Amino acid sequence: MKKLLCGITFLLFASFCYGQQIDHRDMKNGDLAFVGAEKENLSGAINRVTQQSKHIAFDHVALLEINNDSLFVLHASGKKGTVRENFWDFVRNQKKDSQQLAIFRLTEEYATSIPTAIQQAKKLLGKPYNYTYVLNDSSLYCSDYIERIFRTRNVFTLQPMTFVNPETGTTDAYWKTFYEKQGMEIPEGKLGCNPNGLAQSPHVSFIGNITLHNNSPSRCKFGQGRRQHMLP
């Protein structure tokens, strides 16, 4: 009964807070931006086998960096590999039906790990994207990149991966074809991570959603004197 009540409380909380809107100027250095998942293609396939709550459906995650009042994103991109780019360039590259970013923030206990994590993220720039999703040191996928840069503080944990569609109880058809084309066995049970799992970490908390219609390049600066947006 206690577990049931806790679950109901979480669902009610999630229903309320995941509708909360914030302005891009409310973001802080070291925040995490999660991109909403689509229903089809690779995005949908990732979400189908990793979604843990109907309120959390993400297929990509990036680290935010504020530097000299400008906002940057550090992330592992399928097209570019690990890159650092202007936030609004990142926004413009998102799919039209992923119109919101969910912003999460490290809890106070773990906020001190942000400067080191950003340094580590920059050391890993230039690596290609890992389309096998099997962990290695030569290529990275989005959640792997984020988990790795915070690994010394154990902000996130690796979990056995699954490619089973919970609705059918069998391996998702997309992933069967995906790995057949690569000549690989499906890495079922190997350790890994995913955006939905990272968002469930007890060491991060949801701050609010940012709607992606205010994506003018002229809004990429925070303005002078807004130091509250620097390191927490």
DSSP track, the chain: -HHHHHHHHHHHHHHHHTT-B--GGG--TT-EEEEEP-SSHHHHHHHHHH--BTTB-EEEEEEEEEETTEEEEEEEETTTEEEEEEHHHHHHTS-TT--EEEEEEE-GGGGGGHHHHHHHHHHTTTPPB-SS----SS-B-HHHHHHHHTGGGT-S--EE---EETTTTEE-HHHHHHHHHTT----TT-EE--HHHHHT-TTEEEEEEEETT---GGG-B--TT-GGGS--
Q: In tens digits, what is the pLDDT along the chain, a chain of 232 residues?
A: 433 333 333 333 343 345 688 887 889 999 999 998 777 677 677 878 887 666 678 889 999 999 988 999 999 999 999 999 999 899 888 765 545 789 999 999 999 999 999 999 999 999 999 999 999 999 999 999 999 999 999 999 999 999 999 889 999 999 999 999 999 999 999 999 999 999 999 999 999 998 765 444 434 444 333 332 222 2
Task: List beta partners, residue 192.
Answer: 159
pTM of the complete model? 0.82
Q: What is the CATH number of domain 22-216?
A: 3.90.1720.10
Q: At 136, give phi and psi (nearest 5°).
A: -155, 175
Alpha carbon distance 219, 136 (integer Å): 37
Residues 6 or more apart whose Cβ sits within 8 Å of residue 38: 44, 47, 59, 95, 97, 98
